[in-house]
Amino acid sequence: MILETEGITTDIFKKCHDFDLADKYREMGIYPYFHALESKQDIEVIMEGKRKIMLGSNNYLGLTTRPEIIEAGVEAFKKYGSGCSGSRFLNGTLTMHLELEKELSQFVGKESAVTFSTGFQSNLGIISAIVGRGDYVICDRENHASIYDGCKLSYGKMLRYKHNDMQELENMLKKVPENAGTLIVTDGVFSMGGDIANLPEIVRLAKKYGARVMVDDAHGLGVIGEGGRGTASHFGLTDEVDIIMGTFSKSLASLGGYMAASEEVCDYVRHNSRPFIFSASIPPSACMTARASLKYLKEHPELPVHLRELASYAREGLKAKGLRIRESDTPIVPIYTYTPENTLRKAKELYDAGVYVNCVLPPATAPNECLLRTSYMASLTKELIDEAVDIIAEVLLKDND
């Protein structure tokens, strides 16, 4: 369709026509996205017809293939149908939604919980409801994109501090007017670097300046803390963190998200969060899958410990090969590849050699600190890790010979 109008000098689609970065990487043969899976999300997958060792999944506890968890989703699908066809606010609340919220709040140590249809939507819904006109929201610069979009959706003012820089956080807090409400939002486990927020110092500063604290525990639930209860539990600060957010798409092997907080705060969000009010609720099968995964985690508190042991094994193996990694104590182990083009080339070579990893490129990193993000599952074996580490070392170090 060609627009023939007067007074309009630029077609809004011009940006689409001018966008050529993806085509450039496709032509170079190093485009890293949209590889199609032909099997379950597991430690080994079939991707575009070939076996790959999966080191790029957030399926931290390996629960996506557990027979009892799959069966729970199937039974819910049979009993309740394929969807709710409405928002939680209206006709879309099932008894199982309420049961999942109760189980989540009890597990993470909060009074109440609210579930959202996706993790991304959870941050949109929580932050936009809590942070109002005249309020301030203060963010770590390496927070997830959904946090930033939640801030944009709110009517408050956003301030950012350098990653895990507590002095700059205090400087930001000093800028907030005395009559303004303040919410500090941080990832618990940072999704790209795998490092853990300095929550004790964040809590101390929040108390000093009268701010509230929200932790995005998408990559913390099932990974750290007592029995996998997350970052606040890891530091013994559950009662000091005001809002805990998390997702079902990682450790809980499903789709959706949640916030856990006081009943007063949760009830306010239920009645004021536009993403919550105007979105269809979590489908029955996804809801029941999350419940079954949470039940399995509660019954197997050794799983997060085993997961971290396997990640440590992989980390030490990579370092023994002479690879430079970004240090962490979580299942996220990033390997430095420095420039964007080198990162894409190495990811493609690894993919062709049978190991799937994810690229971390600007703006998620500085231009010359790009990474290959490897992530590990509790269901991995040391034999598979050894195989993957050997391939990674061969691919990444071959230019140094």
Catalytic residues: 191, 219, 250
C-alpha closest to that of 142 among 166, 168, 161: 161
Burial status of residue 272 (CB atoms within 10 A of its CB: 0-12, 13-18, 19 or more) = middle
For residue 135 the two structure tokens come to 């309020």
Q: How many CB atoms lie within 10 A of CB 293?
A: 25
Spatial CB neighbours of 173, under 8 Å, sequence gap ≥ 6: 138, 182, 184, 205, 208, 209, 211
Pair 257, 121: CB distance under 8 Å: yes
Q: How far is CA 218 from CA 51, 228, 277, 287, in A?
A: 28, 12, 22, 17
Which residues are paired to 246 by β-bridges?
Answer: 258
Q: Are 58 and 332 in contact (CB under 8 A)?
A: no
